[in-house]
Homo-oligomer: A and B are copies of this chain.
């Protein structure tokens, strides 16, 4: 991937607050909107979801998830040229007793301060999504497969 595309990808992830989360439900795809936080080096992504959500029970049964980060539609003539990245990953709930829970909560609340009150409720949990791969579409006919190390590499741009 050329360095312009790498910078575009890093900016896309940093500038997008809302993403689609894909899980499987009885073998069928299930999508939900989630607010997305992440480590500075893109080595892990974090979501904060209700224990009652269908996507939560899906992740408890099958940790394979996918995220889709899409550039905001700016009304251009051809929306197919918007850049986007899909990230495959494994989801794992972070227990409140975990040593890194405060670190992750801090990352999440720096990005989404309005979520603070949800942390005082018992029925929301932080989940870590560890990327296993991805595909970045930088425009029509320009697509790149990603390994997790590629995400870490572009995070320094």
Chain A contact residues, CB within 8 Å of chain B: 16-18, 20, 22-24, 27-33, 35, 54, 62, 64-68, 70, 72-73, 77-80, 82, 84, 86, 88, 112-115, 135, 137
Q: Which residues of B contact A84 (CB under 8 A)?
A: 33
User: Provided the pairs A73-B72, A79-B18, A114-B77 are in contact, do residues A23 and B29 lie with their beta carbons within 8 angstroms?
Assistant: yes
User: Provided the pairs A18-B73, A77-B114 are in contact, do residues A65 and B29 lie with their beta carbons within 8 angstroms?
Assistant: yes
Of A24, A29, A32, A137, most buried by chain B (CB within 10 Å of CB) is A29
Q: Which residues of B contact A62 (CB under 8 A)?
A: 27-28
- When the two chains form their complex, are residues B23 and A70 in contact, meaning their CB atoms are under 8 A apart? no
- When the two chains form their complex, are residues A70 and B20 in contact, meaning their CB atoms are under 8 A apart? yes
- When the two chains form their complex, are residues A24 and B23 in contact, meaning their CB atoms are under 8 A apart? no
Q: Nearest residue in B to A68 (C-beta to C-beta)?
A: B31
Q: Which residues of B contact A88 (CB under 8 A)?
A: 28, 30
